[in-house]
Amino acid sequence: MITKETKIGFIGTGVMGKSMVKNLLQEGYSVSIYTRTKNKADDLIEQGATWKNTIAELSQQTTVIITMVGYPKDVEDVYFGKEGILENAKENSYIVDMTTSKPSLAKRIFEEGAKRGLYAIDAPVSGGDVGAKNGSLAIMAGGDKDVFKRLMPIFKVLGENIILQGEAGAGQHTKMSNQITIASNMIGVCEAIMYAKKADLDPVRVLDSITTGAAGSWSLSNLAPRMIKGDDAPGFYVKHFIKDMKIAIESAQEMGLKTPGLELSLQLYEELAQKGLEDRGTQALIKLFENESLHIS
């Protein structure tokens, strides 16, 4: 049973992870943290989080272990190996990967965890930095129904739209559907803003009209205003979106599915990264359209 006395371990305190930890602390949970660069977690430690020097130490001293790292390779490093979660977590612990990663890797963690008496859930999220700060993330889960229910008190601190999509890996597949939707939509958002400007319209007033109609989307409401202001601070990194799109394309190909919109979006974001903007927010895509430097083949 999950209670406020349950010790939570959180690995990965980046743009989103940091806000997620803050919400757990504010709700009264005991949270231990580990991230590769300790000084980036200093403010969390000041707010009450307990620093652990290694993943192994954190895993041995907590009951619910949440991971929010960057790439599938990072997920593998965190979970597998002598110093990883699987080798060091106590029996009957819960392991929750909230990284956007490969569905096949989620299944592997679930299967290896089961062999060790661990309860694994893949639970990637959507909502960006805003959703993480507000505790309003969409959480897409895959795994055992009873385990999902037991973890619900924690999930409710982090998000609002919390759905178990199926067995292990289903959460990651759902997140891929989410990213595929966003990928093509981001192109449309950029084109719409540039069209409004070329037509000598005030793009802010245009947004006032179109965000509540059939064109409405999270990206249009939340990222388009940042595009207009020239604010490309990362709520979600370009480099991580590229990673997600590559996973989605790989998964789609395995299922024999064509994704031309996704492939075009990946091409544009890779061009953006080549211009040195991989550490900016995904809304930085507008810069390609502003500079009229698209090289679509």
Which residues have a catalytic role annotated?
A: 175
Q: Which residues of 133-162 are buried (b: 16+ CB within 10 A; e: fewer)?
A: bebebbbbbbbbeebbebbeebbebbbeeb
CA-based nearest residue to 211, from 232, 179, 189, 187: 189
Beta strands in the chain (DSSP E): 7-11, 30-34, 50-51, 64-67, 94-97, 119-122, 125-126, 137-142, 159-166
Checking DSSP bridges between strand 137-142 and strand 125-126, what pairing results, if any?
antiparallel
d(CA 214, CA 122): 32
How far apart are the C-alpha atoms of 109 and 79, rounded to whole Å? 8
Residue 29: which of 16, 13, 41, 44 has the closest Cα?
Answer: 44
Give CA–CA dist 31/48, Å, rounded: 8
Spatial contact of 64 and 6, defined as CB atoms under 8 Å apart: yes
Cα 241 to Cα 68: distance, rounded to the nearest angstrom: 15
Q: What is the dihedral of CA 112, 169, 243, 56, to 10 degrees?
A: -30
